[in-house]
Structure 1
Amino acid sequence: MRLLLNLISEKDCVYDLSYFNKIQGLIYNLLENSIYRKIHDKPGYKFFCFSNIFPIGNLKENDSRNLLISSPDGAFIKLLKNRIEEKDSIGIGEMQFHIDKIKILNPVLRKNSRLISATPIVIRIPERNYEKYKIPEEYRKRRYIFWRPCYSFEAFVKQLEENLIKKYNEFHKTEIEMERIFEVFKFIKGPIANHVLIDGREQLFIGSLWEFHFSYLTKEQKKILNFALDCGFGERNSFGFGFVNIL
């Protein structure tokens, strides 16, 4: 389930490229005094994602912008909708917006679908898989490395599939397994470096942009991918990474 916010800029402003933790902070503030109030402290997956503020570009007063927030938890999205409807405006860093419209969306996957990442997909390769994916010695680091296009595409896709299955099973309390989720994938751009402020410390995340093509989605694939569209692809979804749209 997704929440679409149509926003109107209240002033001239430079577009804030460091929006990740600011939109996350806005969401956490909206969840105060609710059953989700402790989600910030929850270890592991938070099960929500969000887009960038689009279209991207510096703002003039009365410019129109949009923001999407997604989650496989329908109650989470409905609560955010109710909380936002109580407000006339919201602030994201220095950007201030009047809330024009807000509505819930439910994207529908067709059997032959194309998906595109709107924000970078972050994938880490754990140290235990360096040999498996033939990571060159000079790139190896302790614990993990971020996937970059100089590594094999197999490493990206396999780690992405493992991540989606793990999140799906944790959320639904299941133990499903799948050999393959993705059919045809197209690398668009990367590596994309993003610096995110977490608990007062700047951290670096490396991501990439992709297209995914499907000629015939099985029932099982659709189930996983519908979940992924709501939850986000890859890691650090609660910072807005891995937000994917249907083309």
Structure 2
Amino acid sequence: LSQCGYGEKAMGLFKRMQLDGLEPDCNTLASLVVACSADGTLFTGQQLHAYTTKLGFASNDKIEGGLLNLYAKCSDIETALDYFLETEVENVVLWNVMLVAYGLLDDLRNSFRIFRQMQMEEIVPNQYTYPSILKTCIRLRDLELGEQIHCQVVKTSFQLNAYVCSVLIDMYSKLGKLDTARDILVRFAWKDVVSWTTMIAGYTQYNFNDKALTTFRQMLDLGIRSDEVGLTNAISACAGLQSLKEGQQIHAQSCVSGFSSDLPLQN
């Protein structure tokens, strides 16, 4: 239930367990913490925090990550930071949560400070670490820092998976370096639909509508089925070029793909 977003029902079952005299294990408590985090119920999460500490489960990796995520999501950054400093900070997931937390507050200075501290502590980044700091660079339009992070990705020989590539493409597209974004797409992410549609969106953002449509066609030629973002931006590019016929063709394709009821496509 907790994984499906039914936080209240999960807590109700937990209370019934207690009334029946059943003792929860780590997995049960971790699931409940995740449920509180998903629902943003800070008070209940605080009660669970106290309960897990009482039972001696607070150092469980899943519980630690869930509690930290809860405090961060509820914008209780001070408690999140205090809790973070109290934990065994070798868990990369906890570091990532703090990166995301500061990023959501548009606090690039502390987000970058956490990132640098990770390096000093020799915490090995995972596939979510670099995207977290890069997304903050995008929100604050800090291209210079984003390029520094990209250089570090290359220097450390970090494997550029589809997720990291799509965020890099998004950053360079939104911050005006479309050629760099295109280079990443062609070299590393040509099989990933999200990377393609991010590139198309970047072109339409800067009114390079002809390039947006060319990229859209290339994606289809490779046998990659467009998502809603790609179709929406392709239609927008057609409107910018006053290309009614191609716009109608793409709209027909959107209907076949099941997106015809979406307002961005109908407009």
- From the CA coordinates, give the structure whose radius of gyration is larger: 2
Higher strand content, 1 or 2: 1
Greater per-residue helix proportion? 2
TM-score band w.r.t. shorter chain? under 0.3
